[in-house]
Amino acid sequence: MAAESFVKNLKKSAVAALWLSFLTMPIMVIRVDTVEKTIAWRWMHLVWMLVGSFVFALAWHFLMDRRDRGGAATDANVEPTPSRFAVWLANPRVNRPLMALGLLFATAFPFLFSVYQTNILISALIYVVLGLGLNITVGLAGLLDLGYVAFYAVGAYAYALLNHHFHLGFWAVLPVGGILGAFFGILLGFPVLRLRGDYLAIVTLGFGEIVRLVLQNWDAFSFGPSGVSNIDRPGFFGITYSVDQATTYIYYLALLGVLLAIFVSGRLKDSRVGRAWLALREDEIACQAMGIDNTKAKLLAFAMGATFAGFMGVVFAAKTTYINPASFTFMESAMILAIVVLGGMGSIPGVILGAFLLMLLPEYMRAFSQYRMLLFGATMILVMVFRPQGLIRARRKIYKVNINTVDKA
């Protein structure tokens, strides 16, 4: 059986390599020199294309067969047995010291690395909080939101405009940004209460674009494409900081925001509301039949996720001191959604890992600037094909009932 499968994969790989070589031959082989009016035939490029595509196709089929065999050996209704590494990492004697070391390293980071590296990590921490916020809406409640960046923009413009017109400081506007984010989350939630799946995604995508276009075209309100500049950096009881000191200060604010977001997300996930969201994600009709108010659950999911984005919008405006509508395009929403999906929907550690990978790797792969988006796309495809549940899958609670125990009371 294995030999037959190998021969079949060889044939498929050979056919794929021949087709790809045939389709790319005009590009890979023929080179026209318009100055000398000559044609150069580069047949070795075609050979390399043929060999390389055959090897990659063969490796792809091998991995797909291995994945299918693993999926067939596991019952879909049975929770897969965790690996030894996962069991070892779940041990409190192991993960608690690791978390303490990670927190200690994060605390000392600005003093160990340059301001440039600190700025990069601030952006990563902001996206960690954004990912955790969207994880509530998408990962826990199952509501696909493609306009999440709109709440991020609301928080950023709230601080920028209030600071510009009324000279309000960072700490005065921070709760306002969260409240406005929650308000717009509820405002989006009401029209989409009856929508699911693709229809919900289209409406939320339209909402995000509406917010961006309003900010771009309403010059009297948002200064249009020019944006808002000279936004004040956060202070502390009237103390003003230099650029380096302000960067360090914002870093600790972002780190504190991550810790609070992890705490709130964890508590919500294990709470009555979190279990209602999980039930809503699995089956909305059954959820309603069990007495859960779907309307309140959906609105609360949109509001909580948008609150996280509103807070981080204020931090982003304070960090950059300049914002414009170009910072809040659909690509930002897509990136935040990719963080949730890549890390693992509903998984807090997975979202954190996904945010750091998607935000830090492109920055440190500038040496491959011509190919980094190609590598990024190929990595996303491989992860989604061979690990569709994400890098760190969300662990489901299993309740064991002893049927032999009888309550005689």
What is the predicted pLDDT for the residue at 404? 60
Would you say residue 4 has pLDDT above 70?
A: yes
All domains in the chain, ordered by first residue: 2-67 (no CATH), 102-386 (1.10.3470)
The helix or strand, by DSSP H or E, that contains position 303, with its residue range, turns out to be helix 294-320
What is the predicted pLDDT for the residue at 139? 87
Distance from C-alpha of 155 to C-alpha of 161, rounded to nearest angstrom: 10
Residues 73-81: what's their mean pLDDT?
49
Residues 372-383: what's their mean pLDDT?
75
Tens-place pLDDT, residues 279-317: 888 888 888 888 888 888 899 999 999 999 999 999 999
Sequence-distant (6+) residues with CB within 8 A of 203 are 191, 192, 195
**Which three-class secondary structure state does DSSP give residue 323?**
strand
Would you say residue 87 has pLDDT above 70?
A: no
What is the predicted pLDDT for the residue at 398? 60
Higher pLDDT, 260 or 383: 260
* The two three-digit tokens of residue 351, written as one number: 């979202």
